[in-house]
Amino acid sequence: AQSVTQLGSHVSVSEGALVLLRCNYSSSVPPYLFWYVQYPNQGLQLLLKYTSAATLVKGINGFEAEFKKSETSFHLTKPSAHMSDAAEYFCAVIRRDDKIIFGKGTRLHILP
């Protein structure tokens, strides 16, 4: 069975500081992994996607994630947090039957 685990339901960082949101996956097959973001009162927006090509994936709004097979991780990072990054972030894996399995979400708070 495939699954993802997000560490930390809430993460707070200062504006301008590094953002690091952690995600670990479990998969018996090469995974396709996603990060989605949900801004307040909006839907889920795709940030980036890993499909077994380059291990470092660049997404929108300055975010990137690195796939590390040895650590079964797919952590999301951004060098410098902006107030507009405050949102809930979801790590997810898509199964071969096209079902997406989501993590519980991490709410990112940006401190001024």
Partner 1 sequence: EAGVTQFPSHSVIEKGQTVTLRCDPISGHDNLYWYRRVMGKEIKFLLHFVKESKQDESGMPNNRFLAERTGGTYSTLKVQPAELEDSGVYFCASSQDAVRRETQYFGPGTRLLVL
Residues that bind partner 1 (CB under 8 A): 32, 34, 36, 42-46, 49, 51, 90, 94-105
CB of 98 to partner 1, least distance (A): 6
Q: Which residue has the tokens 């495939």?
A: 2
CB of 44 to partner 1, least distance (A): 4
73 vs 105, which CB is nearer to partner 1? 105
18 vs 46, which CB is nearer to partner 1? 46
Pair 90, 105: CB distance under 8 Å: yes
* Phi-psi category of residue 70: left, alpha or beta, with phi > 0 → left and psi -120 to 50 → alpha: alpha
22 vs 49, which CB is nearer to partner 1? 49
57/109 Cα distance (integer angstroms): 23
